[in-house]
Amino acid sequence: MATPRTLCKTLLASVLALSLAGCNWVVMSPSGDVASQQADLILWSTYLMLIIIVPVIVLTLLLAWRYRSSNKDATYKPDWDHSTKLELVIWAAPLAIIIALGALTWVSTHKLDPYRPLDRIEKGVPVPEGTEPLVVEVVAMDWKWLFFYPEQGIATVNELAAPVDRPIKFKITATTMMNSFYVPALAGMIYAMGGMETQLHAVINEPGSYEGFSANYSGEGFNKMRFEFLGESESDFEQWVAQVKAQGNPLSRDAYKALEKPSIDDPVRYYSEVMPGLYDAILNRCVDPGQVCMKDLMKSHHGHHGEEHGE
């Protein structure tokens, strides 16, 4: 018959197993160099904070035990009110950790700036000289993802692919609601906003299939706003591009207007060719004929404003 101690151990093990069952550790064990550096940043920040947390917990338990009511041998000093050594420890240790965290944050904020082109493929491996990043233009829609490949002249819905160990430059915008572009294995999340363009530079270092999704609530279909990110060898990526061109249909203005309508849990779609300037028109909100593009509107506004000042 199991003892109460054994039952407690079994219950504790069951609770831990259940609590960890739904955990996805991809954030702490990613396949992309940028996400890997971000994971290291989380670990170092945790280690620095534990320098304070662990001693405080240990000392709290120690003091509670040492000065328990049944311990008659504990030192009793009712008039004690100050210790220079204790004050130095209490103030110096947190101050040192704050300085260390501040330095870490300052360096990593610049080093991991999503707008900053990559200078390395992975630790100890710089980007080869002359290597151009793969440009992918991302559009967050209701409720699906549209990806343009300007160099390849193709577009896809809810499927993204890139060669392993080649830098990727994402240009990100949205049609209506604000979303957040996030592939945990690749890099941190970046907001997608209508009429604005954000950027992300990243690289995938291991072949595989990874999940991407919106990390910002954007309405009814938000939970199904997911896509597959494929990390492939250069030859497999070329085959994927050829497959998109062979199986896809042209993405004309009319096809885009149909795609733009809100829909949930969309299947993967391929487009073999894209209407010239479509991404730029989406970004500047002038897909429909006759609409004035935001960039032209701003140019004319600044020009008119300049003329007024010139007068």
DSSP characters over 122-147 = ETTEEPPTTPPPEEEEEEE-SS-EEE
Note the pLDDT tens digit of each residue in 250-287: 999 999 999 999 999 999 999 999 999 999 999 999 99
Domain boundaries, the chain: 121-292
Q: What is the mean pLDDT of residues 139-160?
A: 97
Residue 311 has pLDDT above 80, yes or no: no
Mean pLDDT of 133-150: 97
Residues in the chain: 311
**pTM exceeds 0.85 for this model:** no
Percentage of the chain beyond pLDDT 90 is: 66
pLDDT in tens, 159-194: 999 999 999 999 999 998 899 999 999 999 999 999
Q: Where on the phi/psi map is residue 306: left (φ > 0), alpha (ψ -120 to 50), or beta?
A: alpha
Identify the band that residue 230 occupies on the pLDDT scale cut at 50, 70 and 90.
very high
Just give the CATH number of 121-292: 2.60.40.420
End-to-end CA distance of the chain: 97
Phi, psi of 164, rounded to the nearest 5 degrees: -65, 140
pLDDT at residue 77 in the model: 81
pLDDT one-digit tens code per residue, 5-37? 454 444 444 444 434 444 457 888 899 999 999
Confidence of residue 303 (pLDDT cuts 50, 70, 90): low
User: Is residue 179 classed exposed, middle or buried when 0-12, 13-18 and 19+ CB atoms within 10 A define those classes?
Assistant: buried
- Whole-number pLDDT of residue 20: 40
